[in-house]
Amino acid sequence: MNQTRFNNYWQAAGWLGVGLIAYLSLTPAPPQINIENGDKFGHLAAYGLVTLWFAQLYTGLRQRILLAVGMVVLGIAMEYAQRATGYRTFDIADMIADGLGVAIGLLAAPPRLPNLLSWAEKRITRIF
């Protein structure tokens, strides 16, 4: 794990993202993105951003594999949970969008792109 001074806060924010995914997946009337396939874009963006967030904290190969598996399992579980609600629908295309988001999040993670959490932490500690 990439240990930073604000690691606990970064972890909490990431888990808040996971909670938000669960809430949006199970709420009867989630916000709509008014573009063609906006729902799929929302899945891709949500899973991509949360995966990217955690990938900045977990930099080891094993950690990232577990992260990817966990996020994909979350996406699959949310689809089955939606089907169980009776007011949401099960959609394999949503699971595919989730998986693509996870892949994009991992591909965008350091070292390919800078670690934005470390960057933010340096800026914050300079101020305080």
Question: How many Å apart are CA 80 and CA 76, to the nearest integer?
Answer: 7
Q: What's the rounded Cα separation, in Å, for the pair 77 and 111?
A: 30
Q: For 46-69, what is each residue's pLDDT tens digit?
A: 999 999 999 999 999 999 999 999
Q: What is the C-alpha to C-alpha distance for residues 17 and 105, in angstroms, rounded to an integer? A: 14
Mean pLDDT for the chain overall: 94
Instruction: For the chain, give every domain's residue range.
Output: 7-27+36-127
Task: Say whether the peptide bond before residue 30 is cis (omega within 30 degrees of 0).
Answer: no
Residue range 63-98, pLDDT digits in tens: 999 999 999 999 999 999 999 999 999 999 999 999
